[in-house]
Structure 1
Amino acid sequence: MDTHVVDGSVEWMQEEKAELVVDGKVDWKGRRALKHKHGGMKVSLLILGAFAVENMATLSLAVNFVSYFTGIMHYELADAANIVTDYMGVSYMLSIVVAVVADTWIGRYKSVVISGFIESLGLALLTVQAHMGSLTPPICNVYVKDAHCAKLSGKQEAFFFISLYLLAFGSAGLKASLPSHGADQFDERDPKEAMQMSSFFNGLLLAVCIGGAVSLTFNVYIQDRYGWDWGFGISTFAIVLGTILFAFGLPLYRIHVAHTKNGIIEIIQVYVAAIRNRNLSLPEDPIELYEIEQDKEAAMEIEHQPHRDIFRFLDKAAIQRKSDVQPENQETPNPWKLCRVTQVENAKIILSMLPIFCCSIIMTLCLAQLQTFSVQQGSTMDTRITKHFNIPPASLPIIPVGFLIIIVPFYDRICVPFLRKFTGIPTGITHLQRIGVGLILSCISMAIAAIIEVKRKGVARDHNMLDALPVKQPLPLSIFWLAFQYFIFGIADMFTYVGLLEFFYSEAPKGLKSTSTCFLWCSMALGYFLSSILVKIVNSATKNITSSGGWLAGNNINRNHLNLFYLFLSILSLINFFVYLFVSKRYKYRPQHPAVTGGNSEE
C-alpha cells in the first residue's frame, strides 16, 4: 500500500505500483496520478480541442490582419505587414516568459486558464474598437491613387495597440502551456505511452488544421461579409468556450507540479560556476565531479543525468574544492559556485539544441511573407470559384490546410508504423530527420512562389493592368495559382514544426519542458522580427535601382518586385538547410532517449 497525505487526511490506495505515474505528476487534489484514471490519449483530446479553438480564433487574424490594417486603420502596406509580423513576433517571444512562470510557479494548467482569459479580453477590446466609429478613422478608399486618408489619433492608436498586445500575451500563454500540458498526459518512460505522445504531437498539427479550416473559411467570410466587429466577436466567443471546456477536464489531467527552482536560473548558475572555476583542472575520472546521493526515493522525485563527454568546459562547474565539501547536517553548497553533474548535463542539453533552434528561424521568416504579401497578391487576382461565389484571398491557405487534415492522420497511422518496421524508431524517423525534410520543402516553396509571382506580373503587364485597383479590376488569372506555394509550405509545416515541438519537449530537462517547447515559438518570434527588419533592409538597399522606391515599397504590388524577394528567400533557405545538415549531424541525443534507438548522431 502507498500512503498519501492530502489536506491533512490520510488516504490508503490499493492500486499496484504499476498503475502509478512515476514521473512525479499528480492529480488535481495533489495525489500521485494513476495511469488508468488520469491522462492518456482520450484525456489529451480536451487539450487538442482547446488548441484547435485557439487556432480557429486567431489564424484568420494572422492572414487577414493586413487587410484590416490597410483598409480600416489606413496603414500603408509595408507598415501593415510589419505590424502583423511584430505582433506575431511579440506573441511568440512572450511565450518564453509565460513558460518560465508555468514551469516555476503556477503550473501549466493555471497558465492555460489565465492566458485564455487575457486573450478573450484582448479580442473583446478589438471587437469594441471595430464596432465603434469613434475609435477608428473615417472611411476612405486607400487604393485610390494619391488618396489622403485620415490616420488613427493618439488615443485610437493607444487603444488599438493595448488590445492587440493583450491578444498577443494571451495567445502566447496558450501556445506556451497547451502543448507541454498535453505531453504531460503521457509517461516518456513507458514505450507504449511514448508512441502515444508522438501521436499527440501529430494531433497538435491536425488540431491546428481543423481549427484553421474553420478560421480560414467561416471566420474570414464573416470578417469580409459582415464586418470586423462580428469577426472579432466570434473569435472572442470561441476562446471563452475553449477555455471553459479545457478547465472542465481538471479531474482527469495528470498535472505537472511547478518547481520552486527556476530552470533558466539553474542553467545560468552552471555558466557562472564554470567561469569561477575556469582555472581548476578537470579530474580524469568524471565520477569525482559533484552529484548528490541517488537513492530509490530520490530517483523518483529528483532528476539524474549521466555524465557525457561533450562541452567539457562546463564540467568545471561541478568540480568540488575542499571548501565546498559540506558536513551531512549542513546545507547544500552555493549553486553559483558548485553545481550538480545533472545540472551541468542539463545545461549541455540546452546548449546542444541552440544550433537546431537557430536553423529554424529562416523558415518562419519565409512563412511571415506568405502570411502577408500572398494575401495582397490574391487581392489582385480572379477570386471566383463559381459564377456567384468568390474565395476571399485570406482564405487561400484552406487548400494546404484541407490537404493536411487528410495527410496528417495518414502519416501518423500508416507512414509512421511502416517506417518503424525498417528503422526501429517509435516515431518512424528521428526528430532531426523530420525537421530537415521540412526545411528543404520550405526552400522549394519559396522558389515556386517566385515563379508564380513572375507569371502574375506577366499577366498584369500583358493586359496593361499594372496600375489596376485590386478590388475593381482583378487580373484574368485565378487565385488558385497561389495554392502551389501554400501547398508545399503546408507539408513543410507538418514535418518541421511538429518535429521541433517533439524534439524540444523530448530532449529538454525535466524542469524545462514548457520552456523548451517555447523554443519553437521563440524561433518563430525571431523569424517574424527578422521579417520586418528584412523588408526595411531590402527596400533601403533597392530604393535607388527601382522606380517604385524599393522592391517592396508602396501599396501597388503590381509595381513591386516581390518575385525577386521570394527568390532571395529561397536561396537563403537553401543555405540554411546546408547549415542545418552540418549541425544536426553533430548533435548527440540525450541518453536513453525514447525516440532514438540506434546511433547518437543525425544526418
Structure 2
Amino acid sequence: MEEELIDGKVDWRGRTAVRHKHGGMKVSLLVLGTFAFENMATLSLAVNLVSYFIGVMHFDLAGAANMVTNFAGVSYLLSIVVAVIADTWIGRYKSVIISGFFEFLGLVFLTIQAHYPNLKPAICNPNDKNAACEKVKGSQEAFLFIGLYLLAFGSAGLKASLPSHGADQFDERNPKEAKQMSSFFNCLLLAVCVGGSVSLTFNVWIQDSKGWDWGFGISTIAIVFATIIFAFGLPLYRIHVAQRSNCLIEIFQVYIAAIRNRNLPHPADSEELYEIQQDKEAAMEMEFLPHRDIFSFLDKAAIQRKSDDAQPEKQQNPSPWKLCRVTQVENAKIILSMIPIFCCTVIMTLCLAQLQTFSVQQGFTMDTRIGKHFHIPPASLPIIPVGFLIIIIPFYDRICVPLLCKFTGIPTGVTHLQRIGVGLVLSCISMAIAAIVEVKRKNVARDNNMLDAIPGEQPLPLSIFWLSFQYFVFGIADMFTYVGLLEFFYSQAPKGLKSTSTCFLWSSMAIGYFLSSIMVQIVNRATKNHTASGGWLAGNNINRNHLNLFYLLLSLLSLINFCGYLVVSKRYKYRPQAPAVKVVDSQ
C-alpha cells in the first residue's frame, strides 16, 4: 500500500518518496537521536566553558563570560549561512553530515590542546593575587580559536539543518502527519533534555574530576555517534530537494521591484496582479499563495506596466527585479510579518546567557554538597530543570495538548504565538527570582564575613540548590518559547526557506548572546563611578559585585519586551494553509 508524495521530496536515490516507506514518526527518531548526542557533546561546554577559560586559559570573569557568549553568538549566526547553503545548493541531509565532520574536527583540536601542556598557559591559581597568571596568547590562543570556531561552525550546521530535516519527514497537508510534526518539535526539546542530562552530569563530572582533555574527548565520541546514527537513516528519509533558485534573493527582488514600481497605481481588483498560469505541472513544482491585504506597498512589485503589455516578449519573460509573482510578494510579506516576533525573542536569550555564565560562578561560592560525600558541580545545576522537562514534555504533549485541543479546537492546543508569550512571561519571572536569590546569597556572605572568600575553597553556608528556582522557571520558559518559535518559523516560512526559517530562532539567540557581551560592558562603564569594584560586574570577586541589580534590570527589560510582544503578536496574521491532502492508497 503506497502513495507517492507530490511535495518535492525524494528518497536517497532521487526517486519520489513514498508515504508508507519513507519518513514518518519512526524515521524521525533517528533525527531525535542525533540531536540528543549532539547536545550530549555540546551542552556541558555551554555551561562549563567559562570555568575552562578562567581556570585553564586565565581569563577574568567578564572576559570568560564574553568569550562564551561570543562563541555561542557566532555559532548561531553561522547557522544562517549553512541554512541558506542547505536550502539552495547541497540539501539538508548533506549539510548535517558535513557539519558533523567540522564539529568533530573542532573537538579534536580542543582535546589536543587540553591534553598537551605546551599548548596552554602554565598552571597557576587565578585567585592568588601574588601569582603571575598569564592569559593565553600567541600560537596557543590561535589554536584555541581554531578549535573553538570549527566547533561553532559544525554545531551551527547541525542546528540549522536537523530540525527542518526532521520536520521534512512529515507532510503538513496531511492532518495526521501535521499533528505528528507538532509532536516532533516537542520531542526535539525532549531529545535536547535527554542528551543534556548526560552532558550536565557525566560530562561535567569528567571535565571537573578527570580533566578537560577527557571532557573534550567524551564530547568528540558523542558527536561521532551522532553522525553515525543520522547516516544510518539514509535509505528511510524523505529528502527535501534543494531549490534551484535562492528564495532570499526572491525576497529582495520584491523590495527592489516595489521601489521601482512605487509610482504605479494599485489595480482596482487584486486579480489583476501578476501571477503565472497555475497548471498541474506548475502546482507540483511551485508554491501558490492567495493575495492578502497587508503590507500593500509590496503589492507594487506585482503590478504590470502598460508598456510591457505592448511587448509580448517582456510579458512572457519579465525581469524578476521589475515584476514579481503574487506568491513571491506574499512570501515577502510573511517574512516581514515575522521580523517583529523575531525581535521580541532576543531579550530572552540575553537572560539565558546570564544563567550559563554568572549563575555558574554563583554556584562556585555556595555549598555544593548532597549528603556528606557527594558534591554537585555548579555547571550541573541546570540538570534540575532538564530533569523536570524530561517528565513534563511527554505530559504536555500527550495530555495537555489533546485536552487544550478540545477547548480551543487548535491541533497544537494553543497557537504558536500564545505558546511563545507564555515563555516570555516566565523568563521575566526567572530573572526576578535570580535577583532575589542573589540578594540572599550576598547577605549570607556579608553575615559570615566571607565577602572576600575564594570561590571553591571557602563555600558559603548556603546550598547551591537555591539557584535551582531560577533554572527551574527558565527551563519551563524554554519549553514554551524556543519550541514554539521553531514550530512557528517552520510552519510560516516559504517552501524554499524552511531551514533558513528555523535559523530565525538561532539568529535571535545569536543576537541575544552578542547583546549580552555588549550589555555587560555597558553596565560596567555606566556604573564604574558608583561602585568600589569599578562596575556592577567588574573584577573576579562576585561577592563584591552587584549581580542582583543586573538581574533586576534584565527582569524589567523582559517585562517591557513582553508588552511589546503583546502588541506585535496581536497584529500578526498567520499565512494561508495549503489545502489538506486526502490519502488514497494505491495497490
Fold match (TM-score > 0.5): yes
Supply the distance in 1 between the matched residues of 2:576 and 2:417 (Cα, whole angstroms).
16
Please tell me the residue identity of whatever aligns with 1:458. N
Name the structure 2 match of 1:506.
491
Supply the distance in 2 between the matched residues of 1:258 and 1:41 (Cα, whole angstroms).
22
Are 1:273 and 2:265 an aligned pair? no
Q: Among 362, 370, 375, which residue is 2:347 paired with?
A: 362
Other structure's SS at 1:554 match: coil
When the two structures are superposed, what TM-score results if normalisation uses the length of structure 1?
A: 0.95
Other structure's SS at 2:11 match: coil
Name the structure 2 match of 1:421.
406
Check the 8 A contact 1:324/1:338 in 2, yes or no.
Answer: no
State percent identity of aligned pairs: 81
Q: Among 15, 23, 47, which residue is 2:7 paired with?
A: 23
Please tell me the residue identity of whatever aligns with 1:465. M
Please tell me the residue identity of whatever aligns with 2:404. L
Q: Among 219, 224, 240, which residue is 2:208 paired with?
A: 224
Supply the distance in 2 between the matched residues of 1:529 and 1:135 (Cα, whole angstroms).
28
Check the 8 A contact 2:308/2:315 in 1, yes or no.
Answer: no
Q: Among 349, 354, 363, which residue is 1:378 paired with?
A: 363
Q: Any stretches of 5+ residues in structure 2 without a counterpart?
A: 581-587
Please tell me the residue identity of whatever aligns with 2:413. G
* Aligned-residue offset at 1:331: 6.0
Matches within 5 A, 1:435-474: 435-474=420-459
Q: Encode CA deviations 1:383-441: one digit per residue, 9 max, x unaligned.
A: 00021110000000000000000000000000000000011110000000000000000
CA distance change for structure 1 residues 566 and 331 in 2, over 3 Å: closer, same or farther?
same
Q: Among 513, 523, 539, which residue is 1:538 paired with?
A: 523
Supply the distance in 2 between the matched residues of 1:539 and 1:20 (Cα, whole angstroms).
61
Supply the distance in 2 between the matched residues of 1:213 and 1:196 (Cα, whole angstroms).
25
Q: Encode CA deviations 1:502-553: one digit per residue, 9 max, x unaligned.
A: 0000000000000000000000000000000000000000000000000000
CA distance change for structure 1 residues 464 and 106 in 2, over 3 Å: closer, same or farther?
same
Matches within 5 A, 1:70-469: 70-325=54-309, 327=312, 332-469=317-454
Supply the distance in 2 between the matched residues of 1:229 and 1:555 (Cα, whole angstroms).
25
Please tell me the residue identity of whatever aligns with 2:124. C
Are 1:55 and 2:30 an aligned pair? no
* Aligned-residue offset at 1:22: 2.2
Name the structure 1 match of 2:470.
485
Supply the distance in 1 between the matched residues of 2:401 and 2:4 (Cα, whole angstroms).
29
Name the structure 1 match of 2:585.
none
* Aligned-residue offset at 1:329: 11
Q: Encode CA deviations 1:464-520: one digit per residue, 9 max, x unaligned.
A: 000001111000000000000000000000000000000000000000000000000
Supply the distance in 1 between the matched residues of 2:131 and 2:452 (Cα, whole angstroms).
14
Please tell me the residue identity of whatever aligns with 1:366. C
Supply the distance in 2 between the matched residues of 1:483 and 1:177 (Cα, whole angstroms).
32
RMSD: 1.3
Supply the distance in 1 between the matched residues of 2:54 and 2:232 (Cα, whole angstroms).
40
* Aligned-residue offset at 1:36: 0.3
Moved more, 292-301 or 201-210: 292-301
CA distance change for structure 1 residues 416 and 594 in 2, over 3 Å: closer, same or farther?
farther
* Aligned-residue offset at 1:59: 0.4
CA distance change for structure 1 residues 507 and 230 in 2, over 3 Å: closer, same or farther?
same
* Aligned-residue offset at 1:238: 0.7
CA distance change for structure 1 residues 30 and 351 in 2, over 3 Å: closer, same or farther?
same
Check the 8 A contact 1:404/1:490 in 2, yes or no.
Answer: yes
Supply the distance in 2 between the matched residues of 1:508 and 1:338 (Cα, whole angstroms).
22
Name the structure 1 match of 2:583.
none
Supply the distance in 2 between the matched residues of 1:384 and 1:71 (Cα, whole angstroms).
21
* Aligned-residue offset at 1:148: 2.5
Check the 8 A contact 1:28/1:253 in 2, yes or no.
Answer: yes
Supply the distance in 1 between the matched residues of 2:104 and 2:21 (Cα, whole angstroms).
32
Q: Encode CA deviations 1:290-340: one digit per residue, 9 max, x unaligned.
A: 100001221121100100000000000111113445648986211111110
Other structure's SS at 2:14 match: coil
* Aligned-residue offset at 1:240: 1.1
* Aligned-residue offset at 1:20: 1.7
Check the 8 A contact 2:173/2:578 in 1, yes or no.
Answer: no
For these two proteins, the number of residue pairs brought into alignment is 579
Other structure's SS at 2:266 match: coil
Q: Among 18, 33, 42, which residue is 2:26 paired with?
A: 42
Supply the distance in 1 between the matched residues of 2:480 and 2:174 (Cα, whole angstroms).
24
* Aligned-residue offset at 1:593: 6.8
Q: Encode CA deviations 1:224-281: one digit per residue, 9 max, x unaligned.
A: 0100000001101110111011011010000000011111111001001111111111
Other structure's SS at 1:279 match: coil
Supply the distance in 2 between the matched residues of 1:322 and 1:239 (Cα, whole angstroms).
59
